Amino acid sequence: MGKVLIIGAGGVATVAAHKVCQNTDVFTEIKIASRTKSKCDALAEVLNKKYGTNVTTAQVDADSVEELVALLSDYKPEIVMNLALPYQDLTIMEACLQTGCNYLDTANYEPKDEAHFEYSWQWAYRERFEQAGLCAILGCGFDPGVTSIYTAYAAKHHFKEMHYLDIVDCNAGNHHKAFATNFNPEINIREITQKGLYYENGKYIETEPMEIHQPLNYPGIGPKESYLLHHEEIESLVINFPTIKRARFWMTFGQQYLNYLDVIQNIGMARIDEVEYKAPKADGTGEEVVKIVPLQFLKAVLPNPQDLGENYDGETSIGCRIRGIGNDGQEHTYYVYNNCSHQAAYEETGMQGVSYTTGVPAMIGAMMFLKGIWSKPGVHNVEEFDPDPFMDELNKHGLPWHEIHDGDLEFND
């Protein structure tokens, strides 16, 4: 049905590639490209052996529009799945425009030199994608992604007006490491150490990092302390569903993780600016001054998220808790969620559940495009499309969802 180019070879890209190869009736040609071609080659070897596919590979620096344009011009994919770093969203979008390719990603752009993320940089491309007749699908992971589709589904089927939205993300798994992040450490630590942010009564309210927290009960898991964070999908959801009075995002963290994180910040290892360091020369003739970014150095010594899966047990639970006026004119609550087993994810793809819950939706989003279901020109967040066919595919591809109507959402304010 169509040619796809996957940019990236990390945990999310690995899961997405497995899922793409399981659906060759839709994805007829598959190429994986990354800065390190050997990673792509190793992944392609596993895929081709397991599924009998003919996945090809390429080397590309996703920071370089010139290199991206050369690759896209040569391969001519119908859609580019950007599963690289958020820093590279804009260069990949620019290359897609220059070569007539459609685009999909799982996280919004953020600059390398500032821990700040918002959709404005990517929304600025709307007119150019519309004029080119190309489709850009933003935030098609789990959160953002499935959580936004859950919200759209609730609006379509259950509510006249949604008033209160709380997105809740629990990882109740155990990777048996003293400290490790479940996805790219640099991105993860930048995200959770910045100030919290939520939307209420038409304005955004900023909090100190981890300032607001409370225990929440997660299905099949039980109570877990949950912390209010700034998360990007809130920005688009309150625009696309203007009856929302308050929208918040919550994520669980264990106390050991928070203790390590506190130390990392206190000793300066969460810094994203360059520092100078005097390093001895390899030939022993003296010293030279080198520049390093502490957080990037920390990433190099922490466990690789791709290597956590084998001993990872437990599960994730991610969903949306919504209160509003139902189709019958009465107030109702609605909780829609998925629980994902780390071990089941590893057995299928070799990756843990956090990578799985992001990689599967990315594949489904690309499938929606190639089937012509999600294909309107412009730059769109996922909740702007029909949620029903996507929700159907979640049940088929390893992320089944569950509903609780008129239950206790545990938010009384």
> Hey, how many other C-beta atoms are within 10 angstroms of the C-beta on 278?
9
pLDDT at 13: 97
Look at residue 19 and tell me if it is in a domain. Answer: yes
Check whether 300 has a pLDDT greater than 70.
Answer: yes
130-177 pLDDT, tens digit per residue, is 999 999 999 999 999 999 999 999 999 999 999 999 999 999 977 767
pLDDT at 182: 65
The residue count for the chain: 413
Look at residue 24 and tell me if it is in a domain. Answer: yes
pLDDT at 211: 93
CATH of residue 68: 3.40.50.720
55-84 pLDDT, tens digit per residue, is 999 999 999 999 999 999 999 999 999 999
Mean pLDDT of all residues belonging to the chain: 93
Are residues 189 and 264 in contact, defined by beta-carbon separation less than 8 angstroms? Answer: yes
Q: Which of 119-133, 216-230, 275-289 has the lowest mean pLDDT?
A: 275-289
pLDDT at 309: 66
Look at residue 111 and tell me if it is in a domain. Answer: yes
Q: How far apart are CA 260 and CA 214, in angstroms?
A: 20
pLDDT: which is higher, 327 or 113: 327
**Burial class for 273, CB neighbours closer than 10 Å (0-12, 13-18, 19+):** exposed
Look at residue 88 and tell me if it is in a domain. Answer: yes
Check whether 115 has a pLDDT greater than 70.
Answer: no
Are residues 85 and 63 in contact, defined by beta-carbon separation less than 8 angstroms? Answer: no
Confidence of residue 270 (pLDDT cuts 50, 70, 90): confident
Look at residue 288 and tell me if it is in a domain. Answer: no
Look at residue 101 and tell me if it is in a domain. Answer: yes
Check whether 188 has a pLDDT greater than 80.
Answer: no
Mean pLDDT, residues 171-195 = 76
Confidence of residue 271 (pLDDT cuts 50, 70, 90): confident
pLDDT at 237: 98
Percent of the chain with pLDDT over 70: 97
Look at residue 90 and tell me if it is in a domain. Answer: yes
Residue 60's domain spans which residues?
Answer: 2-138
Look at residue 25 and tell me if it is in a domain. Answer: yes
Q: DSSP per residue over 36-103, as a string?
A: SHHHHHHHHHHHHHHH----EEEE--TT-HHHHHHHHHHH--SEEEE-S-GGGHHHHHHHHHHHT-EE
Structural domain tally of the chain? 1
Mean pLDDT, residues 220-239 = 96
